Amino acid sequence: MVKLSVLDLCPIVEGGDAAQAFAGALDLARHAEQLGYGRYWLAEHHNMLGVASSATAVMICRIAAATTRIRVGAGGVMLPNHAPLIVAEQFGALACLFPGRIDLGLGRTPGGNPATARAIRRNLTGASDTFPQDVLELQTYFRPANPGQAVQAVPGAGLDVPLWILGSSNFGAQLAAHLGLPFAFAAHLAPAALESAASLYRTGFKPSAQLAAPYLMLTVNGIAAATDAEARLLFTSLQQDVVNLRAGRALPLAPPVEDYAERLDPAPRASMDATLAYALVGSAGAVRAQMLALVEQTGADELMISGPVFDHAARRESFSILAEAANLSG
């Protein structure tokens, strides 16, 4: 069995809206829980017309309330956008509401372009540079409060909220290793850095109170269907999304297009193919072979699937087939 989880950006499709995206997320989360997926994470992005998960803690609360067993969390909270105390209070509240089910993944990018980052934070000075210190400060708020402690997270202090470091480079790998935290690598965004980041994480890992041995989760795109040809057609929505984002266009998720890749010029085609190098695409047998090869190559402990599909029914079916391929048991 390959351990599988879900990363959801609550995609807004062309002709749809955020309310529709939220309804789809609730349905998919319940479906994923029944299929045996381990986690359902939501990602913080801002000012993107195709992404509705910007208010991440709000959606985590809604998804956790609609499910009973699956772990729900942030993949992640972009810590430079928030004061660590606020994050501790929000996730402390979530941990009180849903004991033993909340994860907190932390990223160091703003989740948007520079203009968006300025609109969120007003002052960009040193925001990403202080990420390690902000993680350490956040950890202190989740520890039991000391007598006379001037600033406490209420709720938050003394609560079990597992922290993860998210990353797409060696920086995140080294920080996760140094702090003894689980590491979620964004192979769906930066596949070229995967092998070096995974190696640095494992070789540099220092056991901590949270984690005794390294734990590596890879986020990859995954789209499955009854046949390889059908899956490749559904995959064209994601291909269009990648090309648009590389060109600075954050648009709603477009419907599938026959032979989309063949129509592209060589440069955008090469960039798209490089970004999607680890995508799992095909029928159950095909994606199972791809999963096993990826786990063997990287030694990943878990795969987290981002599976944007234009049609919601096809998206549900895709996650069903991926679960079948991984031998999950609901």
Question: Residue 125's pLDDT is what?
Answer: 60
- 10-residue mean pLDDT profile of the chain (330 residues): values are 95 97 98 98 94 96 98 95 96 98 93 76 64 96 93 95 96 98 97 96 97 98 98 98 93 97 96 97 97 96 97 98 91
Question: Residue 129's pLDDT is what?
Answer: 79
- pLDDT tens digits, one per residue of 7-50: 999 999 999 999 999 999 999 999 999 999 999 999 999 999 99
Question: Residue 111's pLDDT is what?
Answer: 63
Ranges of each domain in the chain: 4-224+279-325
Please report where in the chains the tokens 């999304």 appear, as a residue: 241
Residue 230: CB partners within 8 Å, gap ≥ 6?
none
Question: Residue 117's pLDDT is what?
Answer: 78
Question: Residue 112's pLDDT is what?
Answer: 67
> Does residue 278 sit in helix, strand or coil?
coil
Q: What is the DSSP letter of 14?
A: T
133: burial class by Cβ within 10 Å (0-12, 13-18, 19+)?
exposed
Please report where in the chains the tokens 């090869």 appear, as a residue: 293
Within the chain, how many helices (H) and strands (E) appear? 12, 9
d(CA 145, CA 154): 10
| Partners of 216 in the β-ladder | 183
Q: What is the widest separation between alpha-carbon atoms in the chain?
A: 66
Quick check: 138 and 106 in contact, CB under 8 A? yes
- pLDDT tens digits, one per residue of 136-145: 999 999 999 9
Q: What class has domain 4-224+279-325?
A: alpha beta
Torsions phi, psi for 238 (to 5 deg):
-65, -40
CA dihedral 329, 298, 234, 23 (to 10 degrees): 50
Start-to-end CA distance of the chain, whole Å, equals 12
Neighbours of 16 (CB within 10 A): 18
CA distances from 44 to 56, 83, 218, 281 (A): 6, 15, 18, 25
Quick check: 113 and 247 in contact, CB under 8 A? no
d(CA 186, CA 7): 11
Cis amide prior to 191 (ω within 30 degrees): no
Both structure tokens of 169? 């480079």
